[in-house]
């Protein structure tokens, strides 16, 4: 399900009506409120500072709008409990890693049973056979391989596809995110490709082998493909990490035809758009990629990923490997497809990634999106709301952005930090770095109402005179 609606009343109040002064004042209040309520998180953050870089296990955890890191004691279903005893309704869900809820019972049971039989062996298991069959049935691609993360899956696929096509160039869309694959960190600035300055430690000029165009721009896509040197186009079917950017009607069928006409391959990264249904966005919309990447939610929270091929592409990959000299391929890691990961994927695919589980999630996400639209309209803000399956997002623009540049222009870091922190202080957590929310099978209508009411209350303070 893809939905984006703008209420006419959203144009009554220009965004400049929310002054930077007001945002700063409310943010200071919310930071003080957060700090006063969480002395144990504060103490743990101070302890972390002695031995952890930036005082957190992963440096980007310090980018949240909180004055110090929130520390979690327990996560179950749709709720988190922090170390200070505050219970939060979780609409972040590990940024999709826990899309089926925290510690779903079938996955927990599978992990407990497998842990007693072995964790990792670097060998195959019966679960691998079952997972391959389930993936083929769900996603329509007959051949699969595994990785620890979607980043790894994307990286491995680039190696396979450059090998089989004997082409060096990757094509991506401006503002994309495909994990920490170096090749994708190229943006358009004033129409020119520029290596993203935030990428640390890169010593190669990525613009020599990565081409970038705007999403929804078929003319630019065709021009970029015309030299005949593009191995593959790597894309999310709906852009999600710079804020949602929905494909315009007819974009993907036309784009797929252009890609094939120029001898390139299409890879769809469904790590976030798996929210669309048990076969992902591609299956729901009738797309036929050459390869597909699945990440975070595939193991119910366990680190694992998978990537699939058409039969024709799989045959080319096998031929390329057989023709290569012996030695390391640069594809695969020792812990990939470990016994625990395979057990988790089998449980997720067979019991959670089903129509029966998805349908209530999609319906509830629709209620959430409508509730957000209602609150935005009540306060006359020029914002829009989009929905992709079980995922919804509000953006600080009157109309849904049609490409990465428009999505980036709509972002407001200070306002975003305030909203996230204020919602957290009111008992709800949404995804940081943008304004996405996700519902899981354990999310209730009351949880959605709590988020909408908290959102409405914060908007009331932002827009009061």
How far, rounded to the nearest angstrom, does the alpha carbon of residue 32 sit from its chain's CA centroid? 30
Per-residue model confidence (pLDDT) at position 11: 32
pTM here? 0.94
Per-residue model confidence (pLDDT) at position 465: 73
Q: Give the mean pLDDT of 81-87.
A: 98
pLDDT digits (tens, 9 = 90+) for 104-145: 999 999 999 999 999 999 999 999 999 999 999 999 999 999
Measured distance between the N- and C-terminal CA atoms of the chain, rounded to whole angstroms: 38
Helix, strand or coil for residue 133? helix
Q: What percent of the chain has pLDDT over 90?
A: 94
What's the CA gap between 110 and 130, in Å, rounded? Answer: 14
Q: What angle do CA 373, 379, 381 make, to 5 degrees?
A: 70
Map 201-233 to HEC letters: CCCCCHHHCEEEECCCCHHHHHHHHCCCCEEEE
Per-residue model confidence (pLDDT) at position 433: 83
pLDDT digits (tens, 9 = 90+) for 334-393: 999 999 999 999 999 999 999 999 999 999 999 999 999 999 999 999 999 999 999 999
Strand ranges, E, within 239-290 = 265-269
Helix, strand, coil abundance in the chain, percent, nearest 5: 45, 20, 35
Q: Which of 168, 169, 123, 177 is nearest to 150 (CA)?
A: 177
Per-residue model confidence (pLDDT) at position 434: 86
pLDDT above 60 for 406: yes
> The dihedral of CA 306, 311, 312, 317: what is its sign?
positive
Q: Give the mean pLDDT of 49-55.
A: 96
pLDDT above 70 for 16: no
Q: Which of 293, 257, 271, 261 is nearest to 160 (CA)?
A: 293
Contact 234, 269 (CB under 8 A): yes
Report which DSSP code applies to 65.
S
> The dihedral of CA 97, 99, 100, 104: what is its sign?
positive
Q: Which of 291, 182, 171 is nearest to 230 (CA)?
A: 171
What's the CA gap between 408 and 315, in Å, rounded? Answer: 40
- Which phi-psi region, left, alpha or beta, contains residue 177 (left: φ > 0; alpha: ψ -120 to 50)? beta
Per-residue model confidence (pLDDT) at position 17: 66
pLDDT above 60 for 4: no
Main-chain dihedrals φ then ψ at residue 161, nearest 5 degrees:
-75, -30
Which pair of structure tokens corresponds to residue 405?
Answer: 């540049």
Please give the mean pLDDT across all residues of the chain. Answer: 95
pLDDT above 70 for 293: yes
Q: Give the mean pLDDT of 271-294.
A: 97
What's the CA gap between 224 and 211, in Å, rounded? Answer: 7
Q: Residue 80: which H helix or E strand, with range?
A: strand 79-82
Q: How many CB atoms lie within 10 A of CB 116?
A: 8
Per-residue model confidence (pLDDT) at position 7: 33
Q: Which of 358, 369, 362, 359 is nearest to 448 (CA)?
A: 369
pLDDT digits (tens, 9 = 90+) for 190-228: 999 999 999 999 999 999 999 999 999 999 999 999 999
pLDDT above 70 for 238: yes
Per-residue model confidence (pLDDT) at position 171: 98
Q: What percent of the chain has pLDDT over 70?
A: 96
> The dihedral of CA 20, 22, 24, 30: what is its sign?
negative
Q: Give the mean pLDDT of 31-50.
A: 98
- 441 pLDDT tier (thresholds 50, 70, 90): very high
- 458 pLDDT tier (thresholds 50, 70, 90): very high
Helix, strand or coil for residue 443? coil
What's the CA gap between 122 and 419, in Å, rounded? Answer: 45
Q: Give the mean pLDDT of 141-158.
A: 98
How far, rounded to the nearest angstrom, does the alpha carbon of residue 10 sit from its chain's CA centroid? 27
pLDDT digits (tens, 9 = 90+) for 156-173: 999 999 999 999 999 999
Per-residue model confidence (pLDDT) at position 3: 44
Please list the alpha-helical segments (H only) found in 286-380. 311-323, 339-347, 355-378
pLDDT above 90 for 32: yes
DSSP string, 142-170: SEEEEESSHHHHHHHHHHHHHHHHT--EE
Main-chain dihedrals φ then ψ at residue 74, nearest 5 degrees:
-155, 145
Q: Residue 420: which H helix or E strand, with range?
A: helix 413-425
Q: Which of 418, 385, 407 is nearest to 20 (CA)?
A: 418
Q: Give the mean pLDDT of 397-426.
A: 96
């Amino acid at each position: 399900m893809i939905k984006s609606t703008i209420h006419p009343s959203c144009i009554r109040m220009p965004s400049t009506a929310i002054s930077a002064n007001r945002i700063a004042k409310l943010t200071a209040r919310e930071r003080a409120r957060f700090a006063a309520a969480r002395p144990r998180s504060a103490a743990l953050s101070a302890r972390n500072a002695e031995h952890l870089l930036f005082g957190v296990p992963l440096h980007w955890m310090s980018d949240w709008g909180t004055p110090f890191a929130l520390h979690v004691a327990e996560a179950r279903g749709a709720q988190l409990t922090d170390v200070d005893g505050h219970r939060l309704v979780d609409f972040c869900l590990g940024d999709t890693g826990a899309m089926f809820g925290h510690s779903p019972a079938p996955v927990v049971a599978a992990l407990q049973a497998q842990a007693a039989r072995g964790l990792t062996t670097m060998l195959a298991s019966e679960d691998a056979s079952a997972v391959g069959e389930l993936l083929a049935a769900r996603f329509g691609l007959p051949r699969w391989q595994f990785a620890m993360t979607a980043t790894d899956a994307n990286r491995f696929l680039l190696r396979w596809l450059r090998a089989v096509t004997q082409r060096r160039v990757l094509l991506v869309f401006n503002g994309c995110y495909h994990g920490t694959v170096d090749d994708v960190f190229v943006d358009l600035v004033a129409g020119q490709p520029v290596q993203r300055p935030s990428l640390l430690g890169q010593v190669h000029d990525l613009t020599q082998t990565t081409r970038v165009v705007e999403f929804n721009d078929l003319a630019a896509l065709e021009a970029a493909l015309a030299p005949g040197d593009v191995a593959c186009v790597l894309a999310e079917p709906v852009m999600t990490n710079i804020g949602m950017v929905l494909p315009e009607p007819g974009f993907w069928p036309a784009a797929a035809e252009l890609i094939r006409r120029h001898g390139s391959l299409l890879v769809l990264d469904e790590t976030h758009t798996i929210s669309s249904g048990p076969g992902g966005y591609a299956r729901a919309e009738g797309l036929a990629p050459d390869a597909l990447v699945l990440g975070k939610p595939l193991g119910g929270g366990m680190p694992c990923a998978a990537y699939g091929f058409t039969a024709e592409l799989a045959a080319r990959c096998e031929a390329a490997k057989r023709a290569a000299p012996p030695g390391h391929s640069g594809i695969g890691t020792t812990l990939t497809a470990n016994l625990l990961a395979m057990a988790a994927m089998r449980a997720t695919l067979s019991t959670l990634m089903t129509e029966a589980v998805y349908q209530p999630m999609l319906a509830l996400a629709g209620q959430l999106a409508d509730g957000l639209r209602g609150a935005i309209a009540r306060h006359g803000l020029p914002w829009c709301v989009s929905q992709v399956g079980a995922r919804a997002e509000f953006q600080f623009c009157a109309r849904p952005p049609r490409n990465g540049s428009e999505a980036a222009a709509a972002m407001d870091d200070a306002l975003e930090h305030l909203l996230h922190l204020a919602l957290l202080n009111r008992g709800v957590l949404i995804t940081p770095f943008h304004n996405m929310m996700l519902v899981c099978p354990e999310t209730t209508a009351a949880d959605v109402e709590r988020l909408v009411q908290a959102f409405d209350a914060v908007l009331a303070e932002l827009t009061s005179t």
